[in-house]
C-alpha cells in the first residue's frame, strides 16, 4: 500500500470547518483513500473513503486532487467531539477484502472552544 504523509497536529475553532490534508504521492490506480479517526483510546472509527471523485457523507467530505496524489478531509462544522487523531490510509481495492490497514501516526486534531 502507498505511504501517506499527514501533519502531526492541527487546531480548529469550534464551529469552523476543519481541513485535514494528506499526501499520498505514490498511490496506485486501484488504491482507495480511507479516513478513520480515533477518539482517545477508542477503536478507530470509519469516516469516509474515495477513489478519485469527491465524496460526501453525513460526517465529512473528501476532496481528492485530480492527480490523486493528495486529499483533504473536511469536517464542515467542527465540534468538541471531533477532537481525535485522524488517519489517512491508502488501501488497494479487492473483492477478497482481506487487505490489512496500515496505520501511520495520523493528525491529532484539537477543536478549540
Partner 1 sequence: EPEVTQTPSHQVTQMGQEVILRCVPISNHLYFYWYRQILGQKVEFLVSFYNNEISEKSEIFDDQFSVERPDGSNFTLKIRSTKLEDSAMYFCASISPGYPPAYYTFGSGTRLTVV
- Closer to partner 1 by CB, 105 or 113: give it: 105
What single DSSP character describes residue 39?
Answer: -
Q: How many alpha carbons lie under 13 Å from residue 46 in its C-beta half-sphere?
A: 7
Name the minimum Å distance from CB 99 to partner 1. 9
**Of 38 and 72, which has the nearer Cβ to partner 1?**
38
Binding site for partner 1 (CB under 8 A): 32, 34, 38, 41-46, 49, 87, 91, 93-98, 100-105
Q: How far is the CB of 31 from partner 1 (least distance, A)?
A: 10
Q: For the chain, give the number of residues.
A: 113
Least separation in angstroms between residue 84's CB and partner 1 is: 13
| Residue closer to partner 1 (CB basis): 29 or 96 | 96
How many Å apart are CA 47 and CA 25, to the nearest integer? Answer: 21
Strands 84-92 and 70-75: unpaired
Amino acid at each position: 500500500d502507498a505511504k501517506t504523509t499527514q501533519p502531526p497536529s492541527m487546531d480548529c475553532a469550534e464551529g469552523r470547518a476543519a481541513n485535514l490534508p494528506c499526501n499520498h504521492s505514490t498511490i496506485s490506480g486501484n488504491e482507495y483513500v480511507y479516513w478513520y479517526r480515533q477518539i482517545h483510546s477508542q477503536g478507530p472509527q470509519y469516516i469516509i473513503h474515495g477513489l478519485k471523485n469527491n465524496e460526501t457523507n453525513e460526517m465529512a467530505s473528501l476532496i481528492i486532487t485530480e492527480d490523486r496524489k493528495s486529499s483533504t478531509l473536511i469536517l464542515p462544522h467542527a465540534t468538541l467531539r471531533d477532537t481525535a487523531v485522524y488517519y489517512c490510509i491508502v488501501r488497494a481495492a479487492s473483492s477478497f477484502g482481506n487487505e490489512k490497514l496500515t496505520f501511520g501516526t495520523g493528525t491529532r486534531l484539537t477543536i478549540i472552544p
